[in-house]
Structure 1
């Protein structure tokens, strides 16, 4: 199977490293304006790549955030299947445009949401889907991270309001996706405060988001995300307070159950530890099954619309 990578920066390199671990996968093109050479496999622009009309089964879109939508749309209009890094779009209008382009050209849109394949997400999904917790009263989602001058490099697109999108589109989109994917609720925004405490001199976007959400089921959600922590990440944690139990997941890698008391459940759940790269590999294996027409759990554009809708509500 032939794969092309559009954008060979930090994320493009990460995708390449994972793809090189998968048998029978060939990276037949790398597309980037900073490409060291121009050859049959290296292209300085998307236009040059399209002119060559290479046969490729999937193009990975790993360019800067603000380019994801237009690059994906152009590729779809030229008949290519695409896999889009986060954030795949900034609003529902862009999502609709991609859906229409895919439909018109018989192409597929896949999304990079590899954390859906993590043991934490799989465990939470099983607990919630099986109704072991009963009615969920309250969810608290915290992430206290550090992003500073080493991240918001001068003259980079990162931290630029119209190019970056904001911390909920970048650093914390996986956690909001976990909220949408696991709990399958339609959340409205009761309160929001987007503030910059530490990074206002180096970034145009917020470094702290405080949110209160409510689901149609009545579940209340409090969200406290920040990238203003001093020097290094502090924690990521999730608390669930429900009719039939209480659960807290935390730890440096968000893979430790630090409190558990659930009716008719084992005294302790075990969460195996996997790396981001392992989750990415699992994501790719499901995409390749989809492209071969086999039964699969690939994440399609429609699977990310709840997240897009929530982000648009928050930032509107």
Structure 2
């Protein structure tokens, strides 16, 4: 597989490190304005890369958030399959444009939603699909994290409303995606409060979100996210209160069952720990299966539309 990486900042370097661990993968282009000139694989702009007409199986878009849609559309128009970092779009209109552009050019759009391959997500999906919990009454999702002043200073676009998107598009998008992909419900927004307690005179976006959602099944969801925690992350936790049981998952890596009482399940479940790097690697392996025409579980653009719809409802 020949892979090109557009954007060689923090996320681009992370993708490169994962790809270097996978056999039969060659990084044939790194595209960034800070790339070395006069190098065989380094291109200082997307335009220079496109002029070369390199044969590549996949382009990873890891540029700043506000450029994801624009760069992906250009790549699709030039016949490239694309993997987009989060947030892949800011609204459904952009998603539909990319879907149509991909269709017209016989290309595929994949999404970086590696947490769908995490042991927690797979465990919860099996638990919900098997109906062991019965009707789900209430879900509580908490994430109390820290993002200090340096986080916003190091990249000038971070914290800018039209360039960053907001904490639900970035830090907490994976947790909202968990609601969409595990519980497979269409959630309405009953209440929302988006607040900034610490903007450091830099950020234009919220650092705290309080939400109440309701699914068409009647399930109520309360969400409490913040990046204003003092100095270091505190917790990520999920509580499920259901007809046939109660479950809480928490822990530093969101992989520990800290409470379980489920009918016909006397023994406590154990969730094997998988790292973010392992989840990313699994994500790539599924994408490569898709590109080879094999049976796969790759995450395509259509699989992320529910999340975009929910985000649009929250921010509208």
TM range (shorter): over 0.9
TM-score norm. by structure 1 comes to 0.99
Count residues in correspondence: 316
Seen in structure 2, the aligned counterparts of structure 1 residues 57 and 276 have a Cα distance that, compared at 3 Å, is: same
Seen in structure 2, the aligned counterparts of structure 1 residues 249 and 97 have a Cα distance that, compared at 3 Å, is: same
The answer as to 2:210 corresponding to 1:203 is: no
Distance in 1 between residues matched to 2:42 and 2:21, nearest whole Å: 20
Distance in 2 between residues matched to 1:98 and 1:198, nearest whole Å: 35
Task: Assess if the C-alpha contact under 8 Å between 2:36 and 2:43 holds in 1.
Answer: no
Aligned to 1:179: 179
Aligned to 1:157: 157
TM-score norm. by structure 2 comes to 0.99
Distance in 1 between residues matched to 2:285 and 2:198, nearest whole Å: 40
Q: Unaligned regions of 5+ residues in structure 2, if any? A: none
SS across alignment from 1:286 = helix
Seen in structure 2, the aligned counterparts of structure 1 residues 20 and 133 have a Cα distance that, compared at 3 Å, is: same
Distance in 1 between residues matched to 2:58 and 2:37, nearest whole Å: 22
Distance in 1 between residues matched to 2:18 and 2:222, nearest whole Å: 35
Distance in 1 between residues matched to 2:215 and 2:209, nearest whole Å: 19
Q: Unaligned regions of 5+ residues in structure 1, if any? A: none
Task: Assess if the C-alpha contact under 8 Å between 2:286 and 2:298 holds in 1.
Answer: yes
SS across alignment from 1:139 = strand
Task: Assess if the C-alpha contact under 8 Å between 1:260 and 1:267 holds in 2.
Answer: no
Distance in 1 between residues matched to 2:231 and 2:73, nearest whole Å: 39
Aligned to 1:42: 42
**Structure 1 residue runs of 4 or more that deviate by more than 3 Å after TM superposition:** none
Distance in 2 between residues matched to 1:153 and 1:275, nearest whole Å: 28
Aligned to 1:219: 219
Aligned to 1:290: 290
Shift of 1:38: 3.4
CA deviations 1:238-294 (Å, max 9, x no partner) are 000000000000011101100000111242111111111110000000000000000
